[in-house]
Every structure is written in structure tokens, then in C-alpha cells.
Structure 1
Amino acid sequence: MTGPAGPGGPQELLSWGRPRARWVLAATVLGSALSFLDATVVNIALPSLGADLGAGTAALTWVVNAYALTLAALVLLGGALGDRYGRRRIYLLGVTVFAASSALCGLAPDVTVLVLARAAQGVGGALLTPAGLAILQASFAPADRARAIGAWSGLTGVAAAVGPFVGGWLVQVASWRWVFLINLPLALAVVVISRRCVPESRGPGPGARPDVPGSALLALALGALTYGLTTAAEAGPGAPVPVGLLAGGLLLLAGFLLWERRAPAPVLPPGLLGERLFVVVNLATFLVYAALGALFFALVVTLQVGAGFSPPAAGLALLPVTVLMLLFSSRVGALMRRTGPRVLLTAGPLLAAAGAALLGRLGPGAGYVLDVLVPVTVLGAGLTLLVTPLTATVLAALPEGRAGLASGVNNAVARTGGLLAVAAVPLVGGLEGGGLTDPQRVGEAFAVVGRVCAGLLLAAGLLSALLVRSPGAESGPARGGPAPAQPPGKSGRSGGSGPSY
């Protein structure tokens, strides 16, 4: 069976179980794991690298957000580049950039170099993340695509479960630098396998030139908003510099939306804003992932600095979330067929909000089982109810032919929510200066952050209860019914792959 044309004509599609098919799956799993794990494992290393490099709260926040900023702003552009210039080519370029910047992170002599290298990592992630699943979609025969993507999802889920513990162990027995340097052999394996086994593919037709100006405007807007929130913690929210940065960010965001109305191939087609269900579910996505971004960032720091747990214990804290999602996400998809999305999109955030509120009790003397694992399990149960319906509803809110676009936009919205929320943590928690290294201040701040995150999740549940309807009830072109899905962006199209937990 032949498929879309590659560089030299139509390519032979792969069948499940063939040796080459296994190698293609291995290349995409390893590459995606690089990007997924960096979003969580680095948080565990923050206390150690902060002490080693003498970094304060603002600098540590940028270690996380420099990566999230470039990834959120450029992931849609990365999908478009893969469709136009070749998915394997862009995937290999992304893996190479990611590996080179990981080496620079691991060898960084100071926090400034580390932050710049993290931004470069985000660029690599934005190139490799959407290309990985697009390669699976284009390489496998139609009858085997769902199986291949399901195997990809399960294997990357295992990596997400094991990775934070391995990262914490590396921090404890070696150095925080190995959290980055361990990426190098993985990236080398991806490059070797991809060059030997992964077929090239492109989108149908030559396509329009990718929207580089729009992506640049979005990156500048998110950068100004993030920097404004970060500086507000030090200078005060009413100081001229943060106010100017936030105002400038909003103006740049408005400029981005205006540009998209006239761009020949916009990364965010303006017609999407007229799709009511799509807008509502993406707003809920923003609230949910803002809560998760802030909560997960603050949790692993609080466990180590505020509660005195080891890095491996901090890495294991989020394991219940991953395990519950791996075990029960498909069952939630089946349940959604009977209940519709609104019930689960309401109950999931409410249950997750209860877990976030329970986590607010962390501090000196906290018990690991009752004060950490039990609340995280409640949080994970809520996310398990929430994530599959959220993604399936986003995909079903647009016609089937635009599922890749729906997935990519939802992925970018989720990452933007986390980016801005992490930038706001020092301001909300009063952690300016060296607050992230002060046990008492960290404990007090986490109680506040936990309540704010619970409020964001409650708002997402209320929004869903009031405004979400079954996709088939929406006006406009016929939609396909929602099917079980993965976390935002884990779609087989070139829209991207969602944030890890």
C-alpha cells in the first residue's frame, strides 16, 4: 500500500509488526519523550541548580519559562514547517537543536547561559513535537494508525511516569547537570534511527509559506507578558516597568490577532474565534493548565525546600497522576459516549480542585502519604475524568479535516496557560528575592498558590457546566462525534503533542 508522496514519489505505508514499523515507533517515542520530560524533570532540579548557580526566584522562574515560552509560541509554526519542508527533516532538526541546547544547559557556567539555552531547547521542542506524531500518521497504513498512536501514547506515558523519579535520583546522586546531559544519548539514538528507518513525508500540495511574522508577534507578546509578571514580583504590580511590559504584551497580542486576519497562511485562522464550542473549551483548557502549571512548579519545590523531602521523593509525588491516566483514560472515553462531555468536563475540574486545595497543607512535618500522595491521587482522578473529554471535545468542535489545527491550537493554549501561571507564582505567593530557597516562605506561598489553583479549576468546571454542549448540537458544519483522545495535542495530525504531566 502506498501513501502520500515523499521526496521521491509515493511512499510504501508501514504495517504493524514489521521491523521498520517498530523502529519508526521507537524514534517517535524517544524524541517525544525528550520534550515531554523536560517540562517536568527540570522542576525537580530547581532547588539544586539554584543553590549551585546562586539563582534567585526570578532567575529560577525563567529557567522554566524560557523553555515554555518558545515552545508555546512556535509549536504551531513547527507543525507548518514539517508539512511544507518534510516532517522527518524538521523532526531531525528539532532533535539536533534540542540536543545541542541540552548540552549547553548541562555545561552552563551561570544562570544567564542556562536560561538562553533553555529558550533554544524550546525551539527544538517546537520543531520535534508536532513532527513526531505527524510522522506516525503519515507512515502507517490507515488500519494500523490508531494502534501505532496508542502504543506511542502508552510508551510516552511510561516515560512520563519513570522520568521524574530518574531525574530526582540523578540530582541526588550526581548533579542537576545530568538532568540535561542525559538527553544527549537519547537524541543520538533518535537521529540514527530516524536517518535509517523513518520515511520522509509532507503535507498535500506545496502549501503557503509558513506564518513566521505571526509566530514572531506571538512570541514577543508572550515574552512581554511573562517578563511583566516576573518583574511585578520584585518591583510591585503597580510599578511602571511591569505595567509597561504587560500593556506592551497586550498590544502585541492584539497586533498578532490583527495580523492573522490578513496573513495568507495564519497559524491561528481568525474564523476559529467564531466557533463557540471551540472557544469555550479552549478557555477551559487555559484555566486548567494555568492551574496545573503553577501547581506542579510549586509542588516539587515545596516538597524539597518547604517539607524537606529528597529529590527522588519529589519526583515520585506526581506518579499517581500518570498511573491513573494510563489505566483509566480509555474507560473515561467510553463513559463520555454515554454521558456526553459536559458532565465530565464539570466533575473533573471540581475533583481536581479538591486535590489542589488538600495539597495546600504541605509544610514542615508533612506526612508523605496523607499530605502528598492522597491529595495528588485526588488531583489525578480529576484530571483523568477531565483530559480525555477535553481533547475529544476540542477535536470534535471543528470539522474532521481541521482536527490537526484544533489539536495544535489547544496544545498552544495549554502551554500558554502554564507559562503565564508559572510567571505569576512569585507574585501571587510573595516569593520575590530568594523566596524559593526559604523554607518558611515557600510553605506559606504554597498554601496561597494551592488555593488560587483550586479556584482556577473551579472556574473551569463552572464554565463547562454553563457553556459546554455536545459538539453535534453546535451550529455550522457537521462534526465527527468525539472519540477517546489523549491529553491536549496527542493527536495523530501535525498539530502537535500536548504537555506532559
Structure 2
Amino acid sequence: MEKIQVDGLPLPQRYGAILTIVIGISMAVLDGAIANVALPTIAADLQASPASSIWIVNAYQIAIVVSLLSLSFLGDMFGYRRIYKCGLVVFLLASLFCALSDSLHMLTLARIAQGFGGAALMSVNTALIRLIYPQHQLGRGMGINSFIVAVSSAAGPTIAAAILSIASWKWLFLINVPLGIIALLLAMRFLPPNASRSNKPRFDLPSAVMNALTFGLLITALSGFAQGQSLKLIGAEIVALIVVGFFFIRRQLALPVPLLPVDLLRIPLFSLSICTSICSFSAQMLALVSLPFFMQTVLGRSEVETGLLLTPWPLATMVMAPLAGYLIERVHAGLLGALGMAVMASGLFSLVLLPTSPSDFNIIWPMILCGAGFGLFQSPNNHTIITSAPRERSGGASGMLGTARLLGQSTGAALVALMLNQFGDSGTHVSLITAGILASLAAIVSGLRITQPRIQA
């Protein structure tokens, strides 16, 4: 049996291990955000139409969503460290191919490969944190992880703009190569192994195919809807999704260790935490996508002013996420989550109630409330998702955590498109109201967890 540190890594090794997680997850999240800013530049350089260049973004996102649960299952089978290292290799090679691409087709294929590499990193990163940190300090590890995801998501457009101002778009991807090599060297030296298992779960290929089809159809239908595609096509995708999804779930219920972790979803604490995660990320995306439109078209602010006025949100999240990681060791996660989502909801409703010509301060303080509330919620919620699963199913829990985030973000973006199509300029207002309602719902569901017994793995 492979030797493993039972309760976290000793300190020097722990720093090296968490550094490789930080580099890997920041690259994976950043690459989902930076391409948006560069789309016009890339489309012009590759002589592609604006509509077809959307696939540079979609290919990455869809590749992650369709493979996340399968890769987390493989992590439970073969070890999280092995999957993470493979992910780093695929990600840095795919990034190199992205930079070398001279056509839209080549870049799209490279982005698909990059998405699979990113999915491998996202699928097991929180499972690895469970091995890196002692049980009583796990909240701190989750706080660091939430902090890195928040910073990477928020800083993506700024970093992309900075790189594009001094270099070609190819450097958006080339920068990942040296970072990936550093992360890989750190991973080989510092990442801990899983305990070997005598009863390894069997990988079910039909489940993997049905999983890819189910989530692929869901994200394609949502993004197609957001981009105003034909309703007949979207309807056909939804029908196919329902049919494939029905057989997929039926198969999962019959398997002893399912790919879609229905065994974990039977744990009330786990399923409640996943529901709150989807609601919170939907609310966040509804707000962050609609606010630039609101500030520019309704309030008449410039692009620069809009960027500056949005900044307090991620800054407040950055401050609050590590603090929430410390608080989880002392305060119940359900209570922290409910409080965080209530604070975020109050910030969102404050934005809805802004006067006709608000001052900068009128906008900034609700933004701080939104960011602080989200940061206070996210670390404890992720901590609960991971710790409510048995230790040998940490991969499945980690995969569901990432899937919930991506589903919430995709749903939020599609809802903004619906509101703008239905209500025109006032659609931004309706989007913010919807975000506030979803955050309030997340607060209520999070509060229900206070009555649930905690499962210590």
C-alpha cells in the first residue's frame, strides 16, 4: 500500500503543494476569461467572422463541462495527483498549439484540448486540497482556492488587455507554457498520493458518453439561446437532452459507484450545498454580465468608468474568501453561507433601487456588499461539499463542485440574454432583480443545512 500522510502534509511540503494548485487552477480559470477580450483581435488576425470566432470561447467551456465528472471519477480510481499532472501536461501542450494556430479550425481544436487539460485540473483540485491540509485547517485551503478562482475570474479581462497592449494575442496562450512547466515540476515534487484502494471503482464508458452528451447538449442549448440561435435548433437540443439525460440518470442509479455522483446527492448536506452553489453562481453571472450594459446604456457611464465601478466586487471577494476560510473552523458553514448570500442579495437589491443619476459611492457600496457576501459564502460552501463526501469519493465531490459552478455561470449568462431580448434596456434591471431572488433562495437553502448532521470523513 502506498504511504500517505493521513491528516495533511508537513509544512514545507504543504506550501509547495498548494503553490502548484494555485498556478494550475489560476491558469485554467484565466483561460476561460481572457479569450473573450481578445476575440475581435483573434478573429481579424485569422480572417474569421465574429459569429464563428465565438467557438474559441465555447470550445473551451464545452470541453470542460463534458469531461469534468469523468476525470474526477478517474481521479478516484487512479489518484488525484496522477490526473492533475496529466492535466498540466495536456494544458501546457495545448496552450502551445493555441499560440501556433494559423486558422480558426486549428485554434478551436487546440482550445478543445486545452479545455480537457483544464478540466483535469479543476476536477481534482479540491480533492487534492483535502489531502494537503489537515482536517482542522481544511477551511483555510478552501479559502485560498476560492480566493484564486475569484481573482482569476475577475482579473482575466484586465490581464488580457495588458498583454494585448504590448504583445500579440498568441502570448495569451504562450504565457501558460513556462507557468505549466513550473507547476508540473512542483507537482512531481510536492503533491501527495491518494491511499491506494483495494476495491477500485470500474470506469463505465457508456456513462462517460452519456454524461458528455447530457452536459454538452445543456451548455450548447444555453449558449445557443444566449447567442440568439434558431428556436427550432434549441428545441431539438432540449428534446435530445431530456432523452439522453433520462437514460443517463437511470443507468447511474443502477451502478454501485456512479459517474454522476447520485450516491453523494443522496446525502442531504451535499445536495443542499450543490443547489446553493448553482444558485449563487447563476446570481453572480446574472449580475456581472448585466451590470456593464446597465452602467453604459442606462446610466451612461464610459467603458473605463464601468470597469472601475465593477472592481469593488472582486476586491471584496478577495478580502472575504480567505477570512471565510478561517471562520469555517469556528462557525457553522450553513450559517456563514446563509449570511453571505443574504449580504449579496441586499447588495443586488440595492443596485436595483439606485436613483436615476447615482453617484459613484451609490454604486460602489452595493458592489462591496455583493463581493463580500459572495466571498463569505463560497469558501464554507466548497468546504461543506468536499467534507460531506466520504474521503474515497473526494474526486466525485470535486467534480460536482466544478460542474455546479459552470452550470450556474452558463445559466446566468443565458438568463441575461433572455432578459435583454424580452425587455430591451430594462432587461438589465430585470436581470438584477432575478439575481437578487436567486441569491435570496441560496440564502434560504444554505440556512436549511444548519439542521443537517455533519459527516466527518
TM-score of the pair, normalised by structure 1:
0.73
* 1:246 alignment counterpart: 238
Q: Distance in 2 between matches of 1:359 and 1:66?
A: 38
Q: Distance in 2 between matches of 1:338 and 1:99?
A: 36
Q: Distance in 2 between matches of 1:76 and 1:109?
A: 32
Q: How does 1:168-179 map to 2 (within 5 A)?
A: 168-179=161-172
CA RMSD, 1 decimal: 4.3
1:416 to 398, 404, 407: 407
1:108 to 90, 101, 104: 101
2:180 to 181, 187, 194: 187
Q: Distance in 2 between matches of 1:86 and 1:399?
A: 15
Tell me how far 1:219 sits from its aligned partner. 1.9
Tell me how far 1:275 sits from its aligned partner. 4.5
Q: Conserved in 2, the CA contact under 8 Å of 1:157 and 1:322?
A: yes
Larger CA deviation: 66-75 vs 392-401: 392-401
1:429 corresponds to 2:424: no
* 2:79 alignment counterpart: 86
2:281 to 289, 294, 305: 289
1:473 corresponds to 2:451: yes
Partner of 2:349, secondary structure, is: helix
Tell me how far 1:89 sits from its aligned partner. 2.4
Task: Deviation per CA, 1:257-310: give whole Å up to 9, x if none.
Answer: 112112342122434554555444433322321232354456679989994339
Tell me how far 1:75 sits from its aligned partner. 2.1
* 1:485 alignment counterpart: none
**Matched residue count:** 454
Q: How does 1:44-193 map to 2 (within 5 A)?
A: 44-53=37-46, 58-59=51-52, 61-138=54-131, 164-193=157-186
Partner of 1:309, secondary structure, is: helix
* Residues 361 and 70 of structure 1: CA distance in aligned 2, closer, same or farther (over 3 Å): farther
Partner of 1:479, secondary structure, is: coil
Q: How does 1:215-364 map to 2 (within 5 A)?
A: 215-232=208-225, 239-276=231-268, 278-297=270-289, 307-309=302-304, 319-326=314-321, 328-330=323-325, 333=328, 336-337=331-332, 340=335, 343-344=338-339, 347-354=342-349, 357=352
Q: Distance in 2 between matches of 1:83 and 1:48?
A: 41
Amino acid corresponding to residue 69 of structure 1 in structure 2: I
Larger CA deviation: 119-128 vs 276-285: 276-285
* 2:377 alignment counterpart: 386
Tell me how far 1:35 sits from its aligned partner. 1.3
Q: Distance in 1 between matches of 2:202 and 2:342?
A: 43
Q: Distance in 2 between matches of 1:133 and 1:71?
A: 16
Tell me how far 1:372 sits from its aligned partner. 6.8
Tell me how far 1:211 sits from its aligned partner. 3.8
Q: Distance in 2 between matches of 1:198 and 1:334?
A: 24
Q: Distance in 2 between matches of 1:61 and 1:458?
A: 30
Tell me how far 1:330 sits from its aligned partner. 4.2
1:210 corresponds to 2:217: no
Amino acid corresponding to residue 409 of structure 1 in structure 2: M
* 2:26 alignment counterpart: 33
Q: Distance in 2 between matches of 1:112 and 1:301?
A: 31
Q: Conserved in 1, the CA contact under 8 Å of 2:221 and 2:234?
A: yes
Larger CA deviation: 125-134 vs 227-236: 227-236
Task: Deviation per CA, 1:202-227: give whole Å up to 9, x if none.
Answer: 55334112344323212212222333
Larger CA deviation: 122-131 vs 52-61: 52-61
* Residues 155 and 200 of structure 1: CA distance in aligned 2, closer, same or farther (over 3 Å): same
Give percent identity, aligned residues only. Answer: 25
Tell me how far 1:100 sits from its aligned partner. 1.9
Q: Distance in 2 between matches of 1:14 and 1:89?
A: 18
Larger CA deviation: 260-269 vs 307-316: 307-316
Amino acid corresponding to residue 471 of structure 1 in structure 2: R
* 1:452 alignment counterpart: 431
Amino acid corresponding to residue 168 of structure 1 in structure 2: A
2:368 to 377, 388, 394: 377
Amino acid corresponding to residue 120 of structure 1 in structure 2: A
Structure 1: runs of 5 or more not aligned = 432-443, 482-492, 494-501
Tell me how far 1:169 sits from its aligned partner. 0.7
Q: Conserved in 1, the CA contact under 8 Å of 2:130 and 2:138?
A: yes
Q: Distance in 1 between matches of 2:383 and 2:6?
A: 30
Q: Distance in 1 between matches of 2:101 and 2:363?
A: 33
* 1:440 alignment counterpart: none
Q: Conserved in 2, the CA contact under 8 Å of 1:71 and 1:123?
A: yes
Q: Conserved in 2, the CA contact under 8 Å of 1:92 and 1:191?
A: yes
Amino acid corresponding to residue 473 of structure 1 in structure 2: T
Q: Distance in 1 between matches of 2:102 and 2:435?
A: 38
Q: Conserved in 2, the CA contact under 8 Å of 1:277 and 1:469?
A: no
Tell me how far 1:402 sits from its aligned partner. 5.8
Partner of 1:340, secondary structure, is: helix
Greater helix share, structure number? 2
